[in-house]
A and B are shown apart, each in its own frame.
Chain A
Amino acid sequence: MAYSEKVLSHYETPRNVGSLDKDAKNVGTGIVGAPECGDVMKLQIQVDDSGKIVDAKFKTFGCGSAIASSSLATEWIKGRTLDEAMAIKNTEIVQELSLPPVKIHCSVLAEDAIKSAIHDYQEKNGLAHDHADETEHTKA
């Protein structure tokens, strides 16, 4: 399978690989996917008092496109507010990385990972979150 330049770049030098302290109150952790399906993503965010994401880290078990999708996701959410990060759509990831149709699920997983990390943070901090944000994924 031929990969796009951008997928290759993220795959060869993934951004923000690593882990944050999952027990810290200002850290939200999202783990999505399943080993049988060939993808598991862990995405973590560190949020400051103003509700801005100041750091993000990921680890991914998956194909090059899955690794690139999660790497890109961490890049995009850093510096954004929770609401802004929540608004990121998988289709934007598909576009940015030129993912072929068979790899769209990687972008879906990355979007899920962002949302899951934000929910975890909100839950930890007793912040109500708006379930309406969990929109259906649009297929690119």
Chain B
Amino acid sequence: MALKLPIYMDHNATTPVDPRVLEAMLPYFTEKFGNAASRNHPFGWEAEDGVKLARKQVGDLIGADPKEVIWTSGSTESNNLAIKGVADMYKDKGRHIITAIHEHKATLDPCKRLAKMGYDITWLEPREDGLIYADQVAEAIREDTILVTIMWANNELGTINELPEIGKVCKEKGVLLHTDATQAVGKIPVDVNSAGVDLLSGSAHKIYGPKGAGFLYVRRRKPRVRLTPIIDGGGHERGMRSGTLNVTGIIGLGKACELCRLEMAEESARLSKLRDKLDQGITSQLEHAVINGHPDRRIPQTTNISFPYVEGESMMMAIKEIAVSSGSACTSASLEPSYVLKALGLGDEIAHSSIRFGLGRFTTEEEVDYTIDKVVTAVKKLLELSPLYEMVLEGIDINAIEWGAH
């Protein structure tokens, strides 16, 4: 089969909808269009039945009771609801929250807003391997700590934080644990009970479901978690999130979760093999290339590789047939190295030229082979062009040079 270009290697950003998911959704746009809150006629019942099934499909994937699933528009909303909702509900108990500096913006920014409102935030720093460990959390917990929010898997690195250990620490100390599991759900086994998680965010579009649908798991027992809603209205979702349910999106999210649950073992085995091949293929041919983050404690689909002495934007240009995410956002004249990579202690010049490869359900071995080839060729060409690499070959320490201000 001929290779189709461009190749999509950015599945941590989003995924295509699985045709089976789409098929499950379609009737709910037309024949089954009812409002799930319409209790007094069959149109509403039909929609509600679909939503009920979806709740079970989500619950089954994460080991939760269906009643503990609150529908949202995605993980950004779920994180906001969890963090701001807990902060407000428990403000008389304390105003201290623990998180980490390399969380997704959808966690960082709600925490920053709370800081402005007078809450005290502890920002944990990852160890060199990109992980947050339970002992760091234990050390940071105080009398007035009301919430720990630490993501399950990091979106840029794919690294998996020390869960369930963090959950255990939180349980022991009686502090609520929220985890942004957007990058973990459906990819690795996630179980809210064995991980000691009280609130968990997930999003459909990362797992072959539609965009604009997500959920927040909210524990109902031991302890019963309460939240102040951020959207008030008709009192849907046990009053935690008002608004007519996005039935089609919810049906898609449910189906996506079911497929992930049934196919996870096989899919993750296949993808981790391909991911390892990609890592191997690149690092064995490029001696300076380094894998960022813990090499083993990672979700199986993702790898983040730095290419020292090569500049990021030119690198992206050289592999433009491959859709990847670069470690820097080149929205302006000066590149902004990723705060996640900087959190690992990577120098600017290395953070500048890091690439996240995100494999997915429809990635083929052929595509991986092509990617290896393209990347290796591109980096070799750019190294040939790089004055920094030349200096390194001559034995000059480029960090010792006083570069002109600019």
Residue positions of A touching B, CB distance < 8 A: 1, 3, 11, 14, 17, 19, 31-42, 59-64, 66-67, 102-103, 105, 109
Identify A62's interface contact among B311, B389, B398, CB under 8 A: B311
Mask for B371-404, Cβ within 8 A of A = 1, else 0? 0000000000000111111100000001000011
Cβ contacts under 8 Å, A42 to chain B: 387, 390
Q: Is residue B405 within 8 Å, beta carbon to beta carbon, of the partner chain?
A: yes
Question: Number of residues in B with C-beta < 8 Å to the partner?
Answer: 27
Q: Is residue B70 within 8 Å, beta carbon to beta carbon, of the partner chain?
A: no
Identify A1's interface contact among B330, B385, B390, B398, CB under 8 A: B330
Asked if A33 contacts B404 (CB within 8 A), the reply is yes
Mask for B309-331, Cβ within 8 A of A = 1, else 0? 11111100100000000000010
With the chains together, A32 CA to B312 CA distance in Å? 19
Residue positions of B touching A, CB distance < 8 A: 309-314, 317, 330, 332-335, 348-349, 352, 384-390, 398, 403-406
Asked if B313 contacts A64 (CB within 8 A), the reply is yes
With the chains together, A41 CA to B386 CA distance in Å? 8
Cβ contacts under 8 Å, A31 to chain B: 387
Give the number of A-B contacts (CB < 8 Å).
78
Closest to A106 in B: B333
Asked if A36 contacts B385 (CB within 8 A), the reply is no
Q: A33-B404, A60-B385, A102-B333 are in contact. Are A38 and B390 (CB under 8 A)?
A: no
With the chains together, A66 CA to B332 CA distance in Å? 14
Label chain B's interface by main secondary structure: loop
Asked if B387 contacts A38 (CB within 8 A), the reply is no
Asked if B388 contacts A67 (CB within 8 A), the reply is no
Asked if B403 contacts A67 (CB within 8 A), the reply is no
With the chains together, A43 CA to B317 CA distance in Å? 22
Cβ contacts under 8 Å, B386 to chain A: 59-61
With the chains together, A102 CA to B314 CA distance in Å? 15
Asked if A63 contacts B313 (CB within 8 A), the reply is yes
Cβ contacts under 8 Å, B387 to chain A: 31, 40-42, 59-61
With both chains docked as a complex, state the minimum distance between the C-beta of A109 and any C-beta of chain B, in angstroms. 8
Asked if A17 contacts B406 (CB within 8 A), the reply is no
Asked if A17 contacts B332 (CB within 8 A), the reply is no
With the chains together, A111 CA to B310 CA distance in Å? 22
Cβ contacts under 8 Å, B312 to chain A: 38
Q: A14-B385, A17-B385 are in contact. Are A35 and B403 (CB under 8 A)?
A: yes
Q: Which of B310, B313, B335, B405 has the most C-beta atoms of chain A within 10 angstroms of its own C-beta?
A: B313
